[in-house]
Structure 1
Amino acid sequence: MPTVDVTSTPLTPSARLRAALRLTRWMAAHGSNAAHVVVSFRTAEPMEYFAGGMPLTTYEHDTEPGKHARWASVVCHVHPDRDHAYRAGLAEEIGQALGLGTDSAHLTVRFQPTQPDRVFYLDSGSMTSGDPLPVGPG
């Protein structure tokens, strides 16, 4: 169950939807089950995110949601077998989906390899990791 957790400047609901759909489609095109892709958004509070000791969230500039992020910090949980090319491609796609293609934009994307058997989700009223049950006693 690949996940993308985005913390950024405020985004409109439609900008979030566009980004989530674009990232889901990209992951599905690269072998993920689209129904299992999770994209979440969190708007940073003023004076919460700093780069080089300077705040990227300020009281004056972050009060109105936008169609594009001005900066974002993203954490992706993906299968440990995903290679560098996949991670680099996804990082590029995230930047484009969030509209962070300018020289003045700030974006960090961190990848956390996550074994599928360590992710549980609700399926038909029961928690499952999606992996088959082990064979044998126990």
Structure 2
Amino acid sequence: MPTLNVSSAALQPLARKRLALAFTRLLKALGAETAHCMVFFNPLPEACVFSAGMPMPITDHDGLPAQFHVRITLAAARDRLAHQALAEGLHACLRTHYPNAFIYLHFDPILPEHVFFSAGAELINAAHPQGKTGS
């Protein structure tokens, strides 16, 4: 159940959808059950990220996002190769649309038993196998 939290300059709905679809295709290609993958977009306020004591601009001279900060919550059991493949794929997705942006990727390993979700009355723990959707 990978979860992506993307912080950048505010994106229009179509841009968010385009990135969410690209991320979902990547996750599916890497074997994730996409029905359980979540992508959150958070607007990055001006002058909230600093490097060497100076604020980093959130947009470039064309008004496009100048930086993306992506926190990836992923099962702790995933190995370094899984992290590398996902990082490279996310980087490629972002570079396709924002070739000049600064990209920061951060993994937060989590144990599945620490994740709960619900799509109705039942509260489900991610540690218990859910089966395939549509089966």
TM-score (normalised: structure 2): 0.80
2:71 maps to what in 1? Answer: 75
User: Which amino acid in 2 is paired with 1:3?
Assistant: T
Q: 1:89 to 1:4 in 2, by over 3 A?
A: same
> What CA RMSD, in Å, does the superposition of the two structures yield over aligned residues?
2.3
Contact persistence 2:91–2:103 (CA under 8 A): yes
Query: Where do 4+ consecutive residues of structure 1 move more than 6 Å?
Result: none
1:110, distance to aligned residue in structure 2 (A): 0.5
Identify the match of residue 99 of structure 2 among 98, 101, 114.
Answer: 101
Q: Which has the larger radius of gyration?
A: 1
1:50-74 Cα offsets, whole Å, 9 max, x none, are 122221236xx58x964xx321111
Alignment of 1:54-93 (within 5 A): 54-57=54-57, 61=59, 66=64, 69-93=65-89
1:79-127 Cα offsets, whole Å, 9 max, x none, are 112222221222222223223433xx31110101111111100133121
Q: 1:132 to 1:7 in 2, by over 3 A?
A: closer
Q: 1:121 to 1:17 in 2, by over 3 A?
A: same
Q: How many residues align structurally?
A: 126
Equivalent-residue separation in structure 1 for 2:126 and 2:88 (angstroms) = 29
Alignment of 1:14-93 (within 5 A): 14-57=14-57, 61=59, 66=64, 69-93=65-89
User: Which amino acid in 1 is paired with 2:76?
Assistant: P
User: Which stretch of the first structure deviates more once superposed, 107-116 or 88-97?
Assistant: 88-97
Equivalent-residue separation in structure 2 for 1:14 and 1:125 (angstroms) = 32
Q: In structure 2, the residue corresponding to 1:32 is in which secondary structure?
A: coil
TM-score (normalised: structure 1): 0.79
User: Which stretch of the first structure deviates more once superposed, 93-102 or 74-83?
Assistant: 93-102
1:116 maps to what in 2? Answer: 112
Contact persistence 2:57–2:66 (CA under 8 A): no
Structure 1 runs not aligned, ≥5 long: 134-138
Contact persistence 1:10–1:65 (CA under 8 A): no
User: Which stretch of the first structure deviates more once superposed, 70-79 or 118-127?
Assistant: 118-127
